[in-house]
Amino acid sequence: MDDDGTKRFFQDRETGRRIVKVFQGEWYVSCIDEIISTILGSCISACIRDPLTKVGGINHFLLPYGDMEQDSAKKTRDAGLPTRYGNFAMEQLINEILKRGGDRKRLEVKVFGGGNVLAGGMDIGHKNADFIEDYLSNEGLKVVSKSLRGVHPRMIRYFPESGKVMVRTVDPTRAQTIAQQEYKKRIRIAEKQPEGDIELFD
């Protein structure tokens, strides 16, 4: 259990592998035979891997850009905030892979999410999708797979050792719940308030 009572490590019943859940604003890097899992509505996850060293990881961000000075001033209060922004989340994930022996020239990227899951709301998902496509193009990173935009949430299971990704759409009855949770997170970021108690979807 984490400090907030959230369980993030599970055992996959079929394969026996450990499953690691990654939540909004988080990232995780691994080189062992485990599964990294997350659920995306309008958020984006990038799965990045060096196929030679087999070091790979995933992030999960809510918004495209953040301000470095504002977020640096807030790190003592909410250390997870910067990586809720795409520009920070991508930099953090790539740097961690490089620290563990990855080579930037070999990196392979798979990106997912950016759905317009909240009917009548701001189309944050498509803005996130536009951001990640522009970022990857500008950085010259190799994109080998993507599933972006649309209207349905996605569940991602990433296998860093092999680079395999399993994607499935989430039951539409859960879409509104996921969208509302992401919306509440974005409001707290915009208002620069402490996160407080937020229910994380299972």
Residue 1 lies inside a defined structural domain of this protein: no
| pLDDT for res 186 | 52
Contact 55, 31 (CB under 8 A): yes
Residue 66 lies inside a defined structural domain of this protein: yes
Listing DSSP states for 19-69 in one string gives EEE--TT-EEEE-SS-EEEEEESS-EEEEEEETTTTEEEEE-BSBS---HH
Q: From the centroid of its chain, how far is CA 166?
A: 15
* Per-residue model confidence as pLDDT tens digits over 111-165: 999 998 776 666 889 999 999 999 999 999 999 999 999 988 999 999 999 999 9
Number of domains in the chain: 1
Residue 2 lies inside a defined structural domain of this protein: no
Q: Cite the active site residues.
A: 43
Q: What is the pTM of this model?
A: 0.79
* Per-residue model confidence as pLDDT tens digits over 71-109: 443 443 344 468 889 999 999 999 999 999 999 999 999
Domain that holds residue 103: 9-191
How far apart are alpha carbons 123 and 75 in whole angstroms? 28
Residue 198 lies inside a defined structural domain of this protein: no
Residue 174 lies inside a defined structural domain of this protein: yes
Q: Helix crossing, 86-99 with 124-139: angle to 10°?
A: 40
Residue 4 lies inside a defined structural domain of this protein: no
Q: What is the CATH number of the domain that holds 140?
A: 3.30.1330.200
Residue 46 lies inside a defined structural domain of this protein: yes
